Amino acid sequence: MARTRSEQSRQAILEAALTLARREGYGKLTIDSLAAAAGVGKQTIYRWWKSLGAVVIEALREHAKTIPAPETGTLEGDLAAFLRATFRLQRGDQGTAPLLKGLMAEAQLDAAFAPSFVEFTGARRTILRSILLRHVSASREVEVEAAVDMIFGAMWYRMLIGHRPLDARFAQTMAELVGRQFA
Residue pLDDT, tens place only, 3-20: 556 889 999 999 999 999
| pLDDT, position 53 | 94
CA 177 vs. chain centroid, Å, equals: 23
In a domain, 1, yes or no: no
| pLDDT, position 104 | 96
Q: Where residue 169 sits, what CATH number does that domain have?
A: 1.10.357.10
Predicted TM-score of the model (pTM): 0.86
Looking at the structure, tell me whether residues 164 and 93 fall in a common domain. yes
Looking at the structure, tell me whether residues 76 and 50 fall in a common domain. no
Looking at the structure, tell me whether residues 95 and 31 fall in a common domain. no
Percent of the chain with pLDDT over 70: 96
Q: How confident is the model at residue 71 (pLDDT cuts 50, 70, 90)?
A: very high
Looking at the structure, tell me whether residues 124 and 45 fall in a common domain. no
Residue 3 DSSP SS3: coil
pLDDT at 102 over 80: yes
| pLDDT, position 4 | 59
Q: Which domain holds residue 35?
A: 7-62
Q: How many domains does the chain have?
A: 2
Choose among 39, 31, 36: nearest CA to 9.
39
Q: 39: alpha, beta or left, given left = phi > 0 and alpha = psi -120 to 50?
A: left
Ordered DSSP codes for 66-102? P------SSHHHHHHHHHHHHHHHHSSTT-SHHHHHH
| Contact assessment for residue 102 and residue 27, using Cβ atoms and an 8 Å cutoff | yes
Looking at the structure, tell me whether residues 95 and 22 fall in a common domain. no
Looking at the structure, tell me whether residues 123 and 169 fall in a common domain. yes
Residues near 86 by Cβ (< 8 Å), separated by ≥ 6?
67, 124, 155, 171
In a domain, 119, yes or no: yes
Helices (H) and strands (E) in the chain, counts: 9, 0
DSSP state of 26: G
| Contact assessment for residue 31 and residue 52, using Cβ atoms and an 8 Å cutoff | yes
Looking at the structure, tell me whether residues 105 and 157 fall in a common domain. yes
Looking at the structure, tell me whether residues 75 and 33 fall in a common domain. no
| pLDDT, position 3 | 53
| Contact assessment for residue 172 and residue 77, using Cβ atoms and an 8 Å cutoff | no
Whole-number Å distance between alpha carbons of 129 and 122: 10
